[in-house]
A and B are shown apart, each in its own frame.
Chain A
């Protein structure tokens, strides 16, 4: 079975009177896709629709040709799905292994022996095998996030929908999960919403940038970085019309239109391309 392709057409999703998502056409092929965007840009709404945990209000979604609005198709999608929600949703009093066992049962792995094997494999993938007997509430935030990822891996899904998988992880853990992410995306369709443009989006086959519920960019990380070409510099001062972040004591990296005197142009990264996309040139 090949990893699924996802297609969205004329999707409109509203919360109250506000448009949360407005996508005319978006096709996500096999491999990995990072969804970038500011808070409230519609990333989680998009992922919840793809994970079949929210109902589409209008338009069509197809996952491997299946329609999530149809009950039988929805179940078929869920059989191939691993989902990490934005909020962990972990029961603090339950033990790590018991939680995975429970999720395994939810994923229709009926044999207790088989659930145990999947559990141990998944916990090993995220480096949590040593804490299998601990209560979830005693784990750190980063460990709980990794447990959320582990439960998504149970059953070997070929569609992974991950909402902020790196949230709360330290640098080493982010690197480990990044490696796992690359490994998984060789055989599965992986879609993740993230704020980590370099560490995660840079590893993906493609990037979608959402803002105001609309896709502003769909393409490779390299292409996204190129969008900032000529608009990125490092300087000792911040420019008022640019987005700047400190890169060292008294040193700033800025994306904008008008570099201040003494600024040095630098090669844009994926993060620069993202900033240039959500904050387009005032000149253009």
Chain B
């Protein structure tokens, strides 16, 4: 929408006659029109002068090249902020838990717990980023022309990106394990990706809960049947990669559901 379209739409929406946008019958511009245009111009200037400075996050996003139309979707979503805070708190707790461990035997256990629980952090964030039960603006968003797929994706990527960054920092605090400390990364993407397809149809919290239970069950069985190191080894990483791809395909194929359904 251009500024000219804005002015025309504003005049229309305010119930003003359309002649305000043009000249009089004799080719001259009526005083009332000039006064009205002047008022609109002053209002525009005033709006610019009074414009609040964008927040820190908004400025960072703009610097990173995020579009002006996308920035508010990232910064101004209460569900996103809440889930982000939850993600950060949980991640820090894990980091502290791992960092305070001293014995080698305990260290192995701590890493298993860390690797098992870390993928659940972004999962929880995604569960709280979208849906009528957690987002008070859900119905407003649904009635808007924005692509629901894009909105979900923007929120999910923001939550996953932010929580992954914090979890990576937390991984550095884990005292043992070497490269094994980041073995949660692909399972984390897989869990999030698998959650997103059913979240197009069901409450995202339900979908995330189901995936979380399944993930914990798989890890528990694997650790008991094989061992901790093998559980998060190459096989798990490759399977996670496939699961991520499958989840992404499923989510994309169901994208239209995000625009159509509100009674989930």
Q: Do chains A and B interact in one complex? A: yes
The smallest beta-carbon distance between B223 and chain A, in angstroms, is: 41
Find residues 1-57 in chain B having any chain A CB closer than 8 Å to their own CB.
1, 3, 6, 9-10, 12-15, 43-44, 46-48, 50-52
A74 to B81, CA, bound (A): 30
The smallest beta-carbon distance between A160 and chain B, in angstroms, is: 10
A186 touches B15 (CB 8 A): yes
Asked if A41 is an interface residue, CB under 8 A from chain B, the answer is no
CB 8 Å contact bits of B250-261 with A (1 = contact, 0 = none):
000000100111
B143 touches A83 (CB 8 A): yes
Q: Give the residues in chain A near B139, CB-CB below 8 Å.
A: 53, 83, 85, 89
A89-B136, A102-B76 in contact; A52/B10 too (CB < 8 A)? no
Task: Give the interface segment out of A91-99, A209-217, A239-247.
Answer: A91-99
A113 to B3, CA, bound (A): 9
Asked if A64 is an interface residue, CB under 8 A from chain B, the answer is no
Q: Give the residues in chain B near A5, CB-CB below 8 Å.
A: none
* Chain B interface, number of residues (Cβ within 8 angstroms): 47
Q: Give the residues in chain A near B50, CB-CB below 8 Å.
A: 120
Find residues 63-79 in chain B having any chain A CB closer than 8 Å to their own CB.
67-73, 76-78
A116-B51, A121-B10, A184-B13 in contact; A74/B260 too (CB < 8 A)? yes
* Chain A interface, number of residues (Cβ within 8 angstroms): 57
Find residues 81-112 in chain A having any chain B CB closer than 8 Å to their own CB.
81, 83, 85, 88-91, 93-94, 97-99, 101-112
Q: Which of B6, B10, B69 contacts A108 (CB 8 A)?
A: B69
What is the total of A-B residue contacts with beta carbons within 8 Å?
Answer: 141
Task: Give the interface segment out of B120-128, B144-152, B197-205, B230-238.
Answer: B144-152
A98-B72, A108-B146 in contact; A117/B13 too (CB < 8 A)? no
A117 to B260, CA, bound (A): 30
Asked if A153 is an interface residue, CB under 8 A from chain B, the answer is yes
B71 touches A107 (CB 8 A): no
The smallest beta-carbon distance between B176 and chain A, in angstroms, is: 40
Asked if A155 is an interface residue, CB under 8 A from chain B, the answer is yes
The smallest beta-carbon distance between B260 and chain A, in angstroms, is: 6
B259 touches A133 (CB 8 A): no
The smallest beta-carbon distance between A282 and chain B, in angstroms, is: 38
Q: Give the residues in chain A near B147, CB-CB below 8 Å.
A: 75
Asked if A222 is an interface residue, CB under 8 A from chain B, the answer is no
Asked if B172 is an interface residue, CB under 8 A from chain A, the answer is no
The smallest beta-carbon distance between A34 and chain B, in angstroms, is: 18
The smallest beta-carbon distance between A184 and chain B, in angstroms, is: 6
A116-B47, A133-B52 in contact; A110/B76 too (CB < 8 A)? no
Asked if A118 is an interface residue, CB under 8 A from chain B, the answer is yes
A26 to B261, CA, bound (A): 24
A79-B145, A89-B139, A106-B141 in contact; A97/B52 too (CB < 8 A)? yes
Residues in A lying within 8 Å of B, measured CB to CB? 48, 51-55, 71, 74-75, 78-79, 81, 83, 85, 88-91, 93-94, 97-99, 101-118, 120-121, 125, 133, 151, 153, 155-158, 161, 183-184, 186-188
